[in-house]
Amino acid sequence: MRNIIMDKEIVFSSRASKKSPYVFWLVLLFLIMAFGVYICGVSLTRVTVPSKPTKISFTRVERTCSINGIPPEELVYVHFPQPKTYSREECKCTPVRFFVILSMQRSGSGWFETLLNSHPNISSNGEVFSLKQRRQSMETIQRTLDTIYNLEWISSAAKNDCVAAVGFKWMLNQAVMVYHRQIANYFNQKGVSVIFLFRRNLLRRLVSLLANAYDKDAKLINGTHMSHVHTREEADLLAQFKPTLNVSSLIVDLSTAERTMTESLEFFKSNRHMILYYEDIINNPKALSDVQEFLRVPFRKLKSRQVKIHIKPLHEQVDNWYDVYSTVQGSQYEHFLHSSDYIS
């Protein structure tokens, strides 16, 4: 009988030992749940409900403009500016190309700009850096460039809403050569394309420079200085003046102009660019088509109201022609004596 009782105690002890882990986990689970309820209760007591609904502000995210059809290598030159002073509205996804015309005075840049601005999708904003305060440091230069390329520059040529190519003309003697490294870097970073506009016949350019300088004082047209004219009568009146060239410095002057052109090409060779000559615009009908292709704008026939001033042979436009001819004859610039930049 005792053995039986002992056996029962052993069996009971064995069953109790098997159930004890389950009891332990149940107790632990109960404690965790109780602690969780306590934490929730404490948190809820600290939450304050505002008497009025709070205003939630959302940052407006502009939709991404499509770049389908644009070659990957050209994406750096495609922009979608968002001006701060106005909205481009339905044209905000019109891609914009940035450009600059690097040139020298009396090389046809004014005439070339009027041709570009006759295109409905091109804005060329004139000689922006003719004012010294805009080019007194790289900081002022960059600030001006940012304003132009953000489509916030105010000029008569600006077609900001739906423009597809925006730029301006920049003379090489207006701090371009001084800050050429910083400017070239800016152009590369911003994806600005460079159009070099030069004049092959530097002797004819020099004649134009001297005649224009004379008219600044003489003001031959109704007491007003005119760098560009729109009638043949006005052009003929300005062309009556025959400048006298300084033959003692003539070869040096031509060489200096030539060197400036060469150096500018070297300074900006890393930038996307094209080289255009004044004589080509006059004599080659395809030249303006090449420019429009370079700017990736639809082809249009470009027109200008400007009238060329000096259309006569050089010997009829220079007062001391014999001395000039004798000086240039036999030099590396002899071909300037005979080549023309006008349609005869």
Q: Mean pLDDT across the stretch 281-298?
A: 95
Q: What integer pLDDT is reported at residue 340 of this predicted model? A: 75
Q: Which neighbouring-strand residues pair with 100?
A: 194
Matching residue, tokens 């026939």: 301
* 69 vs 282, higher pLDDT: 282
Q: What integer pLDDT is reported at residue 161 of this predicted model? A: 74
Rounded CA separation 85/152 (Å) = 7
* 325 vs 343, higher pLDDT: 325
- Convert the pLDDT of each residue in 1-12 to its tens digit: 444 444 444 444
Specify the range with the lowest mean pLDDT, choosing from 19-28, 55-64, 121-130, 307-316.
Answer: 55-64
Residue 206 has pLDDT above 70, yes or no: yes
Q: What integer pLDDT is reported at residue 134 of this predicted model? A: 97
Q: In terms of CATH architecture, what is 72-336?
A: 3-Layer(aba) Sandwich (3.40)
Domain boundaries defined on the chain: 72-336
Residues 69, 73, 77, 80, Cα dihedral to 10°: 40
Contact 124, 113 (CB under 8 A): yes
Matching residue, tokens 């071909």: 335
Q: Which neighbouring-strand residues pair with 23?
A: none
Q: Mean pLDDT across the stretch 321-339?
A: 96
Rounded CA separation 323/269 (Å) = 38
Q: What integer pLDDT is reported at residue 197 of this predicted model? A: 98
**Percent of the chain residues topping a pLDDT of 90:** 71
Residue 99 has pLDDT above 70, yes or no: yes
Question: pTM of the entire structure?
Answer: 0.80
Q: What integer pLDDT is reported at residue 54 of this predicted model? A: 36
* 157 vs 220, higher pLDDT: 220
